[in-house]
Amino acid sequence: MEVTLWGTRGSLATPGPETARYGGNTSCVGVRGRAGTVLVLDAGTGIRRFAKTIPASVLRVDILLTHLHMDHILGLGFFGPLYRPDAEVHIWGPASSTQGLQARLKRYLSPPLFPVRLNELPCKLHFHEVPRGDVDIGEFRVCSALVCHPGPTVGYRITSPTGQVLTYMPDHEPALGALRFPALPREWTSGATLAANADLLIHDSQYSVAEYGCKCGWGHSSLNQTLDFGTLAGVKRLVPFHHDPDHTDADLDRLMLDAIDETKPRYQVSPGMEGSVFEL
């Protein structure tokens, strides 16, 4: 599979010269399978550019939403295939205790927040609620599970036909409430089974260690926690992702080097930069 980072920023789109290298668009990752399956992981502002690379010959696209915070759905209304009558768009995402996925999305995709209503979109639209067990989407097997983040939030584990695994958890605070982290085995750590032995883990790394101390419970991880989480999960490669809007390129360079030096991961770390492409 080919994995492309189209938006790596957390919380708020942050364009500008000081974020040009890591990128200012919010969460969106494109996944293309060798047999032509197209998955979109989250619909942040990065989705608009991704949509432009999807040829008209692709008739089905699956959008996998981890949760419905604004930075993960803001780009949805600008996803080109939604406006193609011949396109079949499947949206996967979590319901809440009181509302289904479609009703929750309608709150954004309707006036006054957005001029076009969901039911006015010309594509063939399908909704699927997660988490659920293993599901086959095109050539991929996709597993979803709830992870620690405010509100219903899932992570995804995507397995290719040849066994390569991508795990995507852009908003995740596995250290919440832990006296030490990581101190518990995988089965007792949020998301760790989902990420176990993944070839590529794309994971929340919003804060520095000092910042996490002030923002514990906000649903995100420090970069050091993320690297330790990768060790616990036994991943082969990790992409720190969902960068804080206040972190400039220079800040992120420094934070990455410091965290790698302090945690000493034995796997490869590739900082999440918009435009990066990974072949699994």
Q: In the complex, what is the shortest distance from the CB of residue 178 to another protein, in angstroms, rounded to a whole number? A: 6
Q: Are strands 38-41 and 60-64 parallel, antiparallel or unpaired?
A: parallel
Kindly tell me the burial class for residue 183, based on how many C-beta atoms sit within 10 Å of its own C-beta (0-12, 13-18, 19 or more).
Answer: exposed
For 228, phi then psi, to 5°, come to -65, -35
Which positions touch another protein (CB under 8 A)? Answer: 4, 20-21, 23, 95-97, 145-148, 152, 176-179, 182-183, 185-190, 192-194, 196, 228, 231-232, 234, 253, 256-257, 260, 264-271, 273-279
Whether the CB-CB separation of 69 and 151 falls below 8 Å is answered with yes
Residue among 123 and 178 whose Cβ is closer to another protein: 178
Residue among 120 and 279 whose Cβ is closer to another protein: 279
Q: In the complex, what is the shortest distance from the CB of residue 176 to another protein, in angstroms, rounded to a whole number? A: 7
Residue among 158 and 252 whose Cβ is closer to another protein: 252
For 106, phi then psi, to 5°, come to -60, -30
Tokens matching residue 271: 């900082």
Q: In the complex, what is the shortest distance from the CB of residue 227 to another protein, in angstroms, rounded to a whole number? A: 9
What does the buried/exposed string (b/e) look like for 133-155 if buried means 16 or more CB atoms within 10 Å of the residue's CB?
A: eeeebbebbbbbbbbbbeebbbb
- Residue type at position 82: L
Residue among 89 and 198 whose Cβ is closer to another protein: 198
Q: In the complex, what is the shortest distance from the CB of residue 259 to another protein, in angstroms, rounded to a whole number? A: 10
Residue among 117 and 264 whose Cβ is closer to another protein: 264
Residue among 56 and 183 whose Cβ is closer to another protein: 183
Whether the CB-CB separation of 84 and 40 falls below 8 Å is answered with no
